[in-house]
């Protein structure tokens, strides 16, 4: 039979010599190998304390972005929901009232914006579809929850903190 690689070696079928039959040299060799591993660098990452850095193209949980003045960018156009192959995104639009100009960037905004993280396949199409640069995928991942409804992320889970409020709070 033609060998698939050039690394193939024939099996050694010679009968064992006396030293080999004793097994003790082989055992000593094996114990040497395991002893070496005792001092090797551990491959483990201490997960909650240390996290492995992701590549910049990693697509994790979604965030809803704000503009420079802290207003929500999303205008509830629904393009992300249309682009979503898993149909994980639902939203309800509402009209901006007078006096709310500091909250929402455009006349229309998302009163309710939910992503079902159990359905989401993290393809990133929502990010690409968004014309307002409102939805981004972050580098955090894998939420844990005891109930299915805990995986439906609302606006309060995804909206990034208000930049100016955050500064004020930090100064206090």
Q: Which is nearer to other proteins, 7 or 18 (CB)?
A: 18
Site string for other proteins, 83-112 (x = CB under 8 A): ------------------------------
- Asked whether residue 77 is marked as a ligand-binding residue, the answer is yes
- Asked whether residue 170 is marked as a ligand-binding residue, the answer is no
Q: How far apart are CA 145 and CA 125, in angstroms?
A: 25
60: number of CA atoms within 13 Å, CB side?
13
Q: Which residues, 6 or more positions from 115, have their beta carbon under 8 angstroms from its beta carbon? A: 62, 88, 89, 152, 153, 158
Q: How far apart are CA 6 and CA 142, in angstroms?
A: 43
27 binds other proteins (CB under 8 A): yes
Q: Which is nearer to other proteins, 27 or 82 (CB)?
A: 27
- What φ, ψ does residue 35 adopt, rounded to 5°? -65, -35
Structure tokens at 143: 């939420």
Q: Are 118 and 151 in contact (CB under 8 A)?
A: yes
Least distance between other proteins and beta carbon 41 (Å): 8
Q: How far apart are CA 102 and CA 67, in angstroms?
A: 11
- Asked whether residue 6 is marked as a ligand-binding residue, the answer is no
Site string for other proteins, 34-53 (x = CB under 8 A): xx-xx-xxxxx-x-------
Q: Which is nearer to other proteins, 7 or 40 (CB)?
A: 40
In the complex, the residues that contact other proteins under the rule CB under 8 A are 27, 30-31, 33-35, 37-38, 40-44, 46
Q: Which residues are annotated as a binding site for [4Fe-4S] cluster?
A: 74, 77, 80, 84, 120, 123, 126, 130
């Amino acid at each position: 039979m033609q060998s698939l690689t050039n690394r193939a070696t024939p099996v050694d079928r010679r009968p064992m010599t006396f030293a080999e039959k004793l097994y003790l040299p082989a055992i000593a060799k094996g114990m040497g190998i395991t002893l070496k591993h005792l001092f090797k660098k551990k491959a483990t990452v201490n997960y909650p304390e240390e996290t492995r850095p992701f590549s910049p193209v990693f697509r994790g949980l979604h965030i809803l972005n704000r503009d420079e003045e802290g207003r929500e960018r999303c205008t509830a156009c629904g393009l992300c929901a249309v682009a979503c192959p898993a149909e994980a995104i639902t939203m309800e639009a509402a009209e901006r009232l007078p006096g709310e100009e500091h909250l929402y960037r455009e006349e229309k905004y998302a009163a309710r914006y939910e992503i079902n993280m159990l359905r989401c396949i993290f393809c990133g199409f929502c990010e690409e579809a968004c014309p307002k640069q409102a939805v981004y995928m972050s580098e955090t991942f894998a939420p844990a929850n005891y109930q299915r409804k805990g995986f439906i992320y609302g606006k309060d889970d995804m909206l990034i903190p208000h930049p100016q409020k955050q500064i004020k709070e930090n100064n206090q």
